[in-house]
Amino acid sequence: MNQSEENKKKVIVRVCIGTGGLAAGGKEVIEAFKKAIADFCVDIDLDFTCHYQKVGCRGFCARDVLVDVVDGDTSVTYQGIKPDIAKRIVEEHLIKGEPVKEWLIDDSYHAFHAKQLKILLKDCGTIDPEDIHAYVKVGGYDAIKKILSSMIPEDVIAEIKASGIRGRGGAGFPTGVKWEACRKAPGDVKYIVCNADEGDPGAFMDRSIIEGNPHSVIEGMMIAAYAVGSNLGYVYIRAEYPAAVDRLKLAMAQAHEMGYLGNNLFGSGFSFDLRIKLGAGAFVCGEETALIASIEGERGMPRAKPPFPVQKGLWGKPTVINNVETLSNIPYIIRNGAAWYSSIGTEKSKGTKVFALTGKVKNTGLIEVPMGIRLGEIIYDIGGGIIGDKKFKAVQTGGPSGGCIPAELLDTPVDYESLGRVGSIIGSGGMVVLDETNCMVNIAKFFLEFTQAESCGKCVPCRIGTKRLLEILDRITKGLGREGDIELLEGLCAGVKSASLCGLGQTAPNPILSTLKYFRSEYETHIREKKCPAKVCKDLLTYSIIDAACTGCGACKRACPAGAISGEKKKPHRIDPEMCIKCGACFDTCKFASVDRE
């Protein structure tokens, strides 16, 4: 590098390499930029140097790969970038100064962000998660420094209590109260555990936070540790999240190097260190006591409460377990004050909540909204409505522990109490939108399949009860449902809910109960008429070809894996119902809508 190189202006190309970004080719995009620049360098003496910044999830995964080009004070965002577009951006934008209009973000991008309030996700998509200085630059580790220099633990707890923050892992227990209980529990050795075993299908906010802003979690844990009197923390994280694990390890190493983890932090006498424990793939380990068992190296079978972990947790010592999102909020609360935080949200649910908005909405992605926003606003304003402008049917919140909320309740505010009232929960923040082509019995069955497979097997209601629930649902979707099945489901759901040992079993019936509550007629149609109104349940469907519409192109015949379709060219074809395996290949293949599914 010669002197002139150093004097050149710096252009930053910021690329999303969250899971969505990676899957869409984030890394390849960076390589393409590098290659394009190198190619141009051969012929032209560029008047800038290009720096690359990999950032975590920016939320709008549906438009990945998202690329920011930052040139001095101006920042331009591109969406849907593929590697082959990089060359054009380099040539037209970086060299000639003309942004490439057709790939610039559009209105949907703005609409997606308009109603969001980003606290956690703000830094998540902008700072380099692999550089501790990036976090420090935006105020990172100020909160812990502030605490260590000016607050006693009880003050910290009071501040957290005043902020009103409640656990973001599912149950919504007030965080400050939990800390206080642990602080007061007798014992010299206490632990802080960060629950990053995000197991809910349809939720990925914790992963995104760790990938995008790992230091905020570490700082949150430090604050919690100081408040309860702990010197050692564990991050229990899914082994299935290798990128997040690597980020976290790197962040820990950097924090150690900077003296932010270890002994006598900032000369305060307070020491704190962290260890990582990899979860080995068991949903139930999201449950506090199962998680403790797992950290101890045991089968993740929940233990009876009381005693609660804050009294007798890891290795029998008082332990606070908070989830990633909760901990990540803590530094922001300390930095900006409890009053600021509690001004956001509703009376009982404070702050913002991150949701994974997925399913049949146009704008899928990770969103952060103030508590109290209405469901409809999320789905229509942020989510942009239903794909293909189909009819909205329900939104499933809270994963396998949650429920399905129908169209008539879209005005429901999103907070702990309101969602509870309509039979669902906020949970960890999964929000899956369903449209008219989704069968609600099938959805309930899907969740029961999940909980049944993930039941640890310790207690009877969950081990056998969820199995029996699933079997009843299965026979209903197969056209073998009987009168009385709905009542049987209701009775057993009630039993499993109140008799199960842990949260998994206690909430497993929720998807059934909420679909029964709002979509009972769908169950009845399955049972009495042996029909699936949404045309999902395979065994209740028959495929046939509408002679009048069939052109005899033969596409369906070629697609049929069972050889059930016959017919001469250019003449209407026939499906042999005996041979048909109801896979739907013909239906999907036919370009003339001549396959009838009933």
Partner 1 sequence: MVKVTIDGKTATVPEGITVLDAAKRLHITIPTLCHHPKLSPFGGCRLCLVEIKGVPRPVTSCTTPVADGMEATTTSPNLENLRRTVLELVLSDHPNDCMVCERAGDCTLQELAYSYGIRENRFEGERRTYAKRDGNPFIERDMEKCIMCGRCVKVCEEVEGVGAIDFAYRGFKSKICPPFERDLDCEFCGQCVAVCPTGALTGKLWKQKGRQKDVREVETTCGYCGCGCNLTLHVKGNEVTRVDSKAETLNEGWLCVKGRFGYSFIGSTERLTTPLIRREGKLEPASWDEALDYVAGRLKGIKEEHGSDALAGLSSARCTNEENYLFQKLIRAAIGTNNVDHCARY
Partner 2 sequence: MSEILDDIIARYREKDGNVIFLLQETQEALGYIPEEAVGYFSKKLEIPSSRFFGVVTFYSQFHLKPRGKNIISVCCGTACHVKGGSKIADRVLRDLALSAEGETTEDGKFTFEIVRCVGACSIAPVVLVNNRAYAEMSADGTSKILREIKKKESDESK
Q: Which residues would be at the binding site for partner 2 (CB under 8 A)?
A: 19-20, 22-24, 61-62, 64, 198-204, 207-208, 239-242, 275, 277-283, 294-300, 356-360, 364-366, 396, 399, 430, 432, 434, 438, 443, 446-447, 450, 453-454, 456, 561, 583-584
- Rounded least distance, CB 455 to partner 1, Å: 4
Shortest spacing between CB 468 and partner 1, in angstroms: 5
Instruction: Name the one range near partner 1 by CB under 8 A: 334-342, 462-470, 517-525, 584-592.
Output: 462-470
Instruction: List the Cα angle 283/305/508 in 5-degree steps.
Output: 40
Instruction: Report which of 192, 196, 218 is spatially closest to residue 330, judged by C-alpha positions.
Output: 218
Q: Could you check whether the bond before residue 306 is cis, i.e. omega within 30 degrees of 0?
A: yes
Binding partner of residue 12 among partner 2, partner 1, none, CB cut-off 5 to 8 Å per kind: none
Stretch touching partner 1 by CB under 8 A, among 192-200, 261-269, 300-308, 355-363: 300-308
Q: How far is the CB of 28 from partner 2 (least distance, A)?
A: 11
Strand segments, DSSP code E, in 447-557 are: 543-545
Q: Does 239 bind partner 1 (CB under 8 A)?
A: no
70 phi and psi angles, rounded to 5 deg: -110, 120
Helix (H/G/I), strand (E/B), else coil: 547: coil
> Does position 386 bind partner 1 by CB under 8 A?
no
Q: Which is nearer to partner 2, 156 or 426 (CB)?
A: 426
Query: Based on CB atoms, which residue is closest to partner 1, 76 or 499?
Result: 499
Q: Which is nearer to partner 2, 269 or 297 (CB)?
A: 297
Q: Hey, what are 308's tokens?
A: 């609660």
Binding partner of residue 522 among partner 2, partner 1, none, CB under 5 to 8 Å per kind? none
- For the bound state, the minimum distance from the C-beta of residue 64 to partner 2, rounded and expressed in Å, comes to 7
Q: How far is CA 460 from the centre of its chain?
A: 30
The stretch near partner 1 (CB under 8 A) out of 249-257, 356-364, 387-395, 460-468 is 460-468
If the CB atoms of residues 16 and 157 are measured against partner 2, the closer one turns out to be 16
With CB under 5 to 8 Å by kind, the binding choice for 499 among partner 1, partner 2, none is: partner 1
**Residues in region 268-297 near partner 1 by CB under 8 A:** 282, 284
Amino acid at the residue 339: A
Tokens of 183: 């602080």
Yes or no: say if 333 and 159 are a contact pair by the CB < 8 Å rule: yes
Three-state secondary structure readout of 35-85: HHHHHHHHHCCCCEEEEEEEECCCCCHHHCCCEEEEECCEEEEECCCCHHH
Instruction: Please report which helix (H) or strand (E) contains residue 157, including its range.
Output: helix 153-163
| Minimum distance of partner 2 from residue 59's CB (angstroms) | 9
* 3-state SS string for 214-270: HHHHHHHHHHHHHHHCCCEEEEEEECCCHHHHHHHHHHHHHHHHHCCCECCHHHCCC
Q: Counting contacts by CB under 8 A, is residue 455 touching partner 1?
A: yes
CA 11/CA 68 separation, integer angstroms: 10
Rg (CA), the chain: 27
At 219, which amino acid appears?
A: E
Nearer to partner 2, 11 or 22 (CB): 22
Peptide bond into 99 cis (omega under 30): no
> Which of 457, 520, 539, 579 is close enough to bind partner 1 by CB under 8 A?
457
Q: In this complex, which beta carbon is closest to partner 1, that of residue 127 or of residue 462?
A: 462
The whole-angstrom separation of Cα 256 and Cα 249 is 11
In angstroms, give the least distance from the CB of 33 to partner 2: 20
| Identity of the residue, 281 or 577, whose beta carbon is nearer to partner 2 in the bound complex | 281
Indicate which of partner 2, partner 1, none lies near residue 471 (CB less than 5 to 8 Å, by partner kind): partner 1
**Binding at 296: pick from partner 2, partner 1, none (beta carbon under 5-8 Å per type):** partner 2
* Residue 240 contacts which entry, partner 2, partner 1, none (Cβ below 5-8 A, type-dependent): partner 2
Taking CB within 5 to 8 Å according to partner kind, which of partner 1, partner 2, none is near residue 19? Answer: partner 2
Q: Tell the smallest beta-carbon distance from residue 539 to partner 1 (Å).
A: 18
Measured on CA atoms in the order 373, 377, 378, 382, is the torsion positive or negative?
negative
Does position 464 interact with partner 1 (CB under 8 A)? The reply is yes
Question: Cβ 356 to partner 2, closest distance in Å?
Answer: 5
Give the Cα-Cα-Cα angle 424, 428, 509 (nearest 5 degrees). Answer: 40
Q: From the CB of 567, what's the least distance to partner 1, in Å?
A: 41
Q: Shortest distance, CB of residue 449 to partner 2, whole angstroms?
A: 9
Name residues contacting partner 1, limited to 39-98 (CB under 8 A): none
Strands (E) across 72-190 are located at 74-78
Q: What are phi and psi of 367, to 5 degrees?
A: -125, 155
Question: With contacts defined by CB under 8 A, how many residues of the chain interact with partner 1?
Answer: 34
Give me the phi and psi of 392, to 5 degrees please: -65, 140
Residue 370 interacting entry, from partner 2, partner 1, none, C-beta within 5 to 8 Å by type? none
Q: Does 454 engage in binding with partner 1 (CB under 8 A)?
A: yes
Cα diameter, the chain: 86
**Is residue 485 involved in binding partner 1 (CB under 8 A)?**
no
499 binds partner 1 (CB under 8 A): yes
Strand 191-196 and strand 74-78: pairing? unpaired
Rounded CA-CA distance 13/39 in Å is: 17
| Binding region for partner 1 (CB under 8 A) | 282, 284, 299, 301, 303-304, 306-307, 452-461, 463-468, 471, 488, 491-492, 495, 498-501, 506
